[in-house]
Amino acid sequence: MTAVDLARRGARVILACRSKQRGEAAAYDIRKETGNMEVLFMPLDLASLKSVRAFAKAFLNSEPRLDILVNNAGSVNTEINRHFKFWLKVLLIPVATLFQRDAENGAQTSVYCAVQEGIERLSGRYFVDCHVQEVTAHARDDAVARKLWEVSERMVGLAT
């Protein structure tokens, strides 16, 4: 729903998805529903650094800038359950549905952050239900953030 809402507002939207078939189908559906022909699909599998690097290279070669990045834009079913055994799905899916929102409600905070004027100074903050949500002190710890960054650099082969 985030992508649909942004497309309705005239934004150029790039759907970065693992499945080419589903990504292209979603882009087609959004173009058809909104009339915005600037809705595109680009392949991206976040579980593969090779895919991430290929996406980044293709994006940088084709796009002059990135204005807004929305991760998992309005997705209700992230398919995380594909990694669970059947018996675990039977136990977890009914519980998970209690906490899910419908796609339109789930997209509202992403859309708000993308289009609301005057919140630029809040860039990088954590939002819940269209409001800034304070995170725990541990999440604001610069030493922990620096360590996480360093470990991440080593894990993806960027450490010097």
Question: How is residue 81 written in tokens?
Answer: 């359950």
For the whole model, what pTM was predicted? 0.67
Q: State the pLDDT confidence band at 86, using cuts at 50, 70 and 90.
A: low
pLDDT in tens, 101-121: 666 777 888 889 888 999 989
pLDDT in tens, 120-151: 899 888 888 999 999 889 888 999 999 999 99
21 φ/ψ angles, rounded to the nearest 5 degrees: -60, -50
**Strand-pair partners of 131:** 128
Contacts for 74 with CB less than 8 Å, ≥ 6 apart: 1, 2, 3, 4, 103, 104, 106, 107, 110
